[in-house]
Chain A
Amino acid sequence: MCDTCGCGNPDEFKIHDHNHDHDHDHSHSHDHQHDHDHGHHHDHNPEHGHEPTHTHEHLPKKVISLNMDILSENNRLAERNRGWFEGKHVLCLNMVSSPGSGKTSILEKTIHSLISTWKIFVIEGDQQTTRDADRIEKSGAPAIQINTGSGCHLDAKMISLSLKKLEISDHSILFIENVGNLVCPAMFDLGEQKRVVVISVTEGDDKPLKYPYMFQTSNLCIINKTDLLPYVDFSVETAVKYARQLNPNLEFIQMSSKTGEGMAEWYDWLGKQF
């Protein structure tokens, strides 16, 4: 539960770019965001925010009718990110999973295989360290690391700020490797076109039932580390059955980034997203 993990300070995160500069210039960049949002359902004049049509100033009490989505600011920024990706023909994928499912290894292998065909960029999200971004850069793709501090998820504002530093080319792929956490990232749209949830066979095959929100909001489920199937009590059939009950449209790829099993299918899937 994040209410105990202390992720309450949204300005705590840091972005590390290649030159490791500008670490602290992000905290107040929302100063010129608009006050209105698009998540409410009542008619209003956009010039006048959400004020009621008459203000009852003559009355002792004033009801301010809002009907505003609390995540509307995140959702507005996410839509802006999505439009930016579409305009530049960038395929943006939000990779989510528990810690240790093999997301970074999948990305390393993917970059090795596709870097001659596609321009690939990576945004890495972790609470601390630049270890994953360092690994990705060694694979040959530009990467930027967001450290969320005590926070447990990436949000659309962090992505928006990172995009300005990463200098992403047109017609490229952007992988966002979210913080390892199957709970909180489910709620935050980053502006991605597709969400990819990764589970590994060393986890339980009932994981979809335990974390339904994430599986219901994902488009593709990668079942990773299949080379370990002979040694663990994980039924691929059971995991797929549970996940499909929650999300009938979910696609699956069985993969071992270690042996290469399923990587060709993954590359085909990526190609079809353009």
Chain B
Amino acid sequence: MHELSLALEVIGLAQREAGKNGVSAIQEILIEVGDLSGVEADSFQWGLEMLVKGTILEDAVVNIIRTPGKGKCIGCNIEFEMKTRLDVCPECQCFPSGITGGKEFRVVSMLAE
């Protein structure tokens, strides 16, 4: 969803933080995308690479790490891995009471000269 506008958010964030740190070019940016974040990582990376020309991220390598989704079972209360928001508990087949992991969507760090 809306990966282009999210990519623009990343560029703005990178420029602000680079300015604060007194760097003019970023070599590498590390971004965490949770499996249940609602962000299509491939589309987002493609969008970001398309938009970086002329920005501080133009020559940056974009590294994306994925965080697996997790939910807490409403039936037996265990935490289980979720690949999609429709996954059920492997023990009792109940749905989760809530998502407990995989919603992350953040810039972890940047590497600069």
Residues on A facing B (Cβ under 8 Å): 1-3, 6-10, 35, 39-40, 49-51, 55, 60-71, 73-74, 151-153, 183-184, 186-187, 209, 212-213, 216, 245-246, 248
Known: A62-B112, A186-B38, A246-B86. A8 touches B20 (CB 8 A): no
Contacts of A55 in B (CB 8 A): 21
* In-complex Cβ contact of B8 among A10, A39, A65, A187 (8 A): A10
Contact between B108 and A6, CB atoms less than 8 A apart: no
Query: Contacts A10-B8, A65-B109, A66-B108 known; A248 to B95 CB distance under 8 Å?
Result: yes
B79-113 interface code vs A (CB 8 A; 1 in, 0 out): 00000111000000001010100000111111111
Q: Are B95 and A68 in contact (CB under 8 A)?
A: no
B66 contacts the other chain (CB 8 A): no
Indicate which residue in B1, B8, B109 contacts A63 across the interface (CB closer than 8 Å): B109
Scoring B residues 14 to 32 as 1 if CB is less than 8 Å from chain A, else 0, what string do you get?
A: 0011101101000100010
Assess whether B63 is interfacial by the CB under 8 Å rule. no
**11 A-B pairs in the complex with CB atoms less than 8 angstroms apart:** A1-B3, A61-B111, A63-B109, A64-B23, A65-B109, A67-B106, A68-B17, A70-B31, A152-B1, A183-B1, A246-B85
Contacts of B39 in A (CB 8 A): 187
If A184-B1, A187-B38 touch, does A63 touch B6 (CB 8 Å cutoff)? no
B77 at the interface (CB under 8 A from A): no
Tell me if B59 counts as interface (CB < 8 A to partner A): no
B21-56, CB under 8 A of A: which get 1 and which 0?
101000100010000001110011011000100000
In the bound complex, residues from chain B placing their C-beta under 8 Å from that of A67 are: 106-109
Q: What is the CB-to-nearest-CB distance from B36 to chain A, in angstroms, rounded to a whole number?
A: 8
Known interface pairs A7-B2, A67-B106, A209-B86; A73-B9 also in contact (CB < 8 Å): yes
Q: Is the CB of B3 within 8 A of A3?
A: yes
Say yes or no: A70 contacts B95, CB within 8 Å: no
Q: Which 5 A-B pairs have the closest CB atoms?
A: A8-B4, A2-B2, A212-B85, A3-B3, A3-B43
